[in-house]
Amino acid sequence: IIGNTVSTVRVDGGISSEAYLDVRKALLALWRSEWDDGQKANFILAAYGIFNLLNTAVFSMKEMEFAVASGQIDERVESPKERIEELLRLAEGAGGAQDLCLSAANALERQYNEMLDDVPKAKALKEYICKQLRGASVAVVVPKAYYAGLMRRCMPELFESYNIACVTPSRFDPQTEYGAVVAVGEMKNRNFNLERCFASERACVLLYECEEKTFAYSQRERNKYEDKLNKKLGIAAKRSAPADADEADESEIRDIASLDDYIDGCIRSNAKRTVARLAETDGRTPTSEITHVGTFTDGEMIFISKYYSAVVFAPKKGTVTEKAPDELLAGDVLVFTKNDGYMKNIVDITYENLLKS
């Protein structure tokens, strides 16, 4: 596993480092609290969604509110203001966890108000493309599909003057070549890894100061994990030495990362329930049981049905064997077949056909 070099662009403004940590710590303490698990998960996921919006937005909150109210974007997209108001309502019924909920919700509301008219990353993105990427085709990676429509409305001159494609991590096609790839923030728990992006030699991520430590931590942890895989595969990959991290900061960020794991687990659980519902029989569709959920090194998830049999390649031996899902180990290399330009296992294609039949 080898990667390219990702440059970071420091963006002044945005959520302050103090407010960033306050929100994360409040959500961390809330996760560890005794509040009802269902309500707790609802609050944390909702707060985390708004938090990510404020960290990655490249349009003002007023522009987003107008687009939602006027039906200019997907009707499933909710007003940020209404989402924050829902957080405050949830906080009222949080009992002993109310103070923690209010701490997070109030901090998010303050940042929302600061971004009503001006969003630093919007200006930074324009400047970076205009000054650094003139004449290049640019893929701007955004967390949600509706960002594309909002960006075209908020910065039409940029799209008229430059060859820009807005894509979400799950829709990013690594087979398409770009002059540059720009991410509007760290894409946590997404099916996209900027360091493994070879669609362009130029890759960068826009970060507020508050995001830099967690981004650097994610890089260090990812490198450690991939170094272990490289060793297992017998590959010697050279890396530049990572910057030393303060021990106190590292411990604090590690705690924050544990919250991310909890949130990722909630999302996985919701996704698994959704897929299971799609597979429920209605008299016409056969039931297809989801028995395992896995994750690839780039964060992409795989739902494994009872029909699945994994094809595993052993690089050192040069052999290919079949394994049952419960026999798979971390670091196993799965063999895939090509289907319409995407790498998919032939068994999963059969599984999709079962769901559609």
235-252 exposure pattern, b = at least 16 Cβ within 10 A, e = fewer: eeeeeeeeeeeeeeeeeb
Query: Span 100-107, mean pLDDT?
Result: 93
Query: Span 28-52, mean pLDDT?
Result: 87
- For residue 62, pLDDT over 80 is answered with yes
Residue 316's pLDDT band (boundaries 50, 70, 90)? low
pLDDT of residue 315: 64
Q: At what angle do helices 61-69 and 80-92 cross, to 10 degrees?
A: 90
Among candidate residues 124, 170, 167, 137, the one with its CA nearest the CA of residue 11: 124
Tokens of 322: 């079949």
> Which has the minimum average pLDDT: 22-31, 99-108, 133-142, 190-199?
190-199
pLDDT of residue 300: 59
Query: Span 210-214, mean pLDDT?
Result: 86
Contact between 91 and 105 under an 8 Å Cβ cutoff? The reply is yes
List helix spans (H) across 70-199. Answer: 80-92, 98-114, 120-132, 146-154, 156-161
- For residue 351, pLDDT over 90 is answered with no
- For residue 40, pLDDT over 80 is answered with yes
Q: How would you list the strands of the sheet with 333-334, edge to edge?
A: 319-323, 310-314, 333-334
Q: How far apart are the first and last CA of the chain?
A: 38
- For residue 188, pLDDT over 70 is answered with no
Contact between 180 and 133 under an 8 Å Cβ cutoff? The reply is yes
Report yes or no on whether pTM surpasses 0.85: no
